[in-house]
Amino acid sequence: MAELTRLWNLDPLRVPHYGPPTHAMQMFRYVEEGSIRMLWATGSPAPAPTASAPVAGSAVPPTAGGGAGEEPHAYPEESR
């Protein structure tokens, strides 16, 4: 906590740290109520599936397919 308050130039007594971490949903309620005046949330997008990713339960590997240049398929019973 000392490093955080030093980096943000805050008095350590202004940052509540006497209890367990606060759940995100409770933090959003505090924002709505005004007791949290700024909330900085960061994240990254979920990874996008790729054409070469295996299909769950597939008996055919994703590299299997017809001829050259043809798109690989996941299930042998698929009709084209």
Q: What is the mean pLDDT of each run of 10 residues along the chain (80 residues)?
A: 89 84 92 92 76 59 52 51
The confidence score (pLDDT) of residue 80 equals 47
SS3 call for 22: coil
Residue 76 lies in a domain: no
Residues in the chain: 80
Q: Is 62 exposed, middle or buried (0-12, 13-18, 19+ CB in 10 A)?
A: middle
Tokens of 80: 């084209």
Residue 66 lies in a domain: no
The confidence score (pLDDT) of residue 72 equals 52
Residue 79 lies in a domain: no
Residue 59 lies in a domain: no
The confidence score (pLDDT) of residue 21 equals 86
CA 77 to chain centre: 34
Q: Which pTM value belongs to this model?
A: 0.39
Tokens of 48: 């996008």
Residue 14 lies in a domain: yes
Structural domain range at position 10:
2-33
Q: Which residue has the tokens 């000392």?
A: 2
The confidence score (pLDDT) of residue 62 equals 55
Residue 73 lies in a domain: no
Residue 63 lies in a domain: no
The confidence score (pLDDT) of residue 20 equals 87
In the chain, the number of structural domains is 1
